[in-house]
Amino acid sequence: MEKALTQDYLLGGRVQIRQPAEGYRVAIDPIFLAASLQPEPESTILDIGAGVGAASLCLAARVPHCRITGLETQRDAVRLAGENIALNSMRDRVEILAGDLLRPPPRLAAGTFAHVMANPPYLEASNHTASPLSQKAQSHGEGEATLEHWVRFALLMVRPKGTVTFVHRVDRLDMILSYFAGKIGDIVVYPLWPGKDKPAKRVLIRGCKNANGPLRLAPGMILHGVDGRFTASAEAVLRDAEGLIL
């Protein structure tokens, strides 16, 4: 039986997304990930764990001249990503490849991307109960590829002085920083605060390959006001396609 799909809109309607009605659905994390990149004209970007193409398409909508290649292991997601790319008329600038970062497609050459972005599964394989929905389980929980594998692959694919940006949970920030150590510098950590006086649950982490500048903790952004609605700053990213300066 064919899975039910919904058609949704991101960035205030600038991006259309077809995605499964059940299981993993696009949240705000890939939108903020895409907003955190500031590519130069004609830059090449690799999106690891591209899913149905949300981060890639949001970045392409905001930065018209960049070229984005995504890598996704779930075949159904790759198929939907291809449909979404066509739906948004971006076939000339966005492509999602089927493949595993442990066994990447030969077309992906090491050290050739100006920027790499990644939205890995947040949960360790040994530390969560997997969803009965296969697609959701693979999106939320690590499989054969651990967080360390994701970082290693990102560092392999980015060129010298290029940037690597992850969005992840705060409670795994120490692990990411340990994997970055000695390989990437000028690191900035940008917290996404769910509300005023509430602890951050998500962070954006960006660093520059072969740089040696110190780590910097940015003020970050408060996502929700006391009424539960998105703040004006969050709305500017989510609806108005405004970029983030980390």
Tell me the C-alpha distance between 134 and 113, whole Å: 31
Residue 2 has pLDDT above 70, yes or no: no
The domain total for the chain is 1
Does the residue 114 lie in any domain? yes
Provide the pLDDT for residue 130: 45
Does the residue 213 lie in any domain? no
Does the residue 232 lie in any domain? no
Does the residue 23 lie in any domain? yes
DSSP string, 48-91: ET-TTSHHHHHHHHHSTT-EEEEEES-HHHHHHHHHHHHHTT-T
> Residue 46: which CATH number?
3.40.50.150
Q: How many CA atoms lie within 13 A of 45 on its CB side?
A: 32
**Among 153, 157, 144, 169, CA closest to 27:** 169
Q: What is the CA radius of gyration of the chain?
A: 17
Does the residue 167 lie in any domain? yes
The secondary element (H helix, E strand) that includes residue 155 is helix 147-157
Q: What is the pLDDT of residues 12-65, one digit of tens each?
A: 999 999 999 988 899 999 999 999 999 998 899 999 999 999 999 999 999 988
Q: What is the pLDDT of residues 4-13, one digit of tens each?
A: 999 999 999 9
Tell me the C-alpha distance between 51 and 22, whole Å: 14
Does the residue 90 lie in any domain? yes
Does the residue 196 lie in any domain? no
Residue type, 85: I
Residue 162 has pLDDT above 70, yes or no: yes
Q: What is the pLDDT of residues 174-228, one digit of tens each?
A: 999 999 999 999 999 999 999 999 999 999 999 999 999 999 999 999 999 999 9
Provide the pLDDT for residue 127: 56
Tell me the C-alpha distance between 246 and 168, whole Å: 15
Q: Containing domain of residue 13, as a range?
A: 5-184
Within 122-201, strands assigned E span: 158-169, 184-195
Does the residue 189 lie in any domain? no
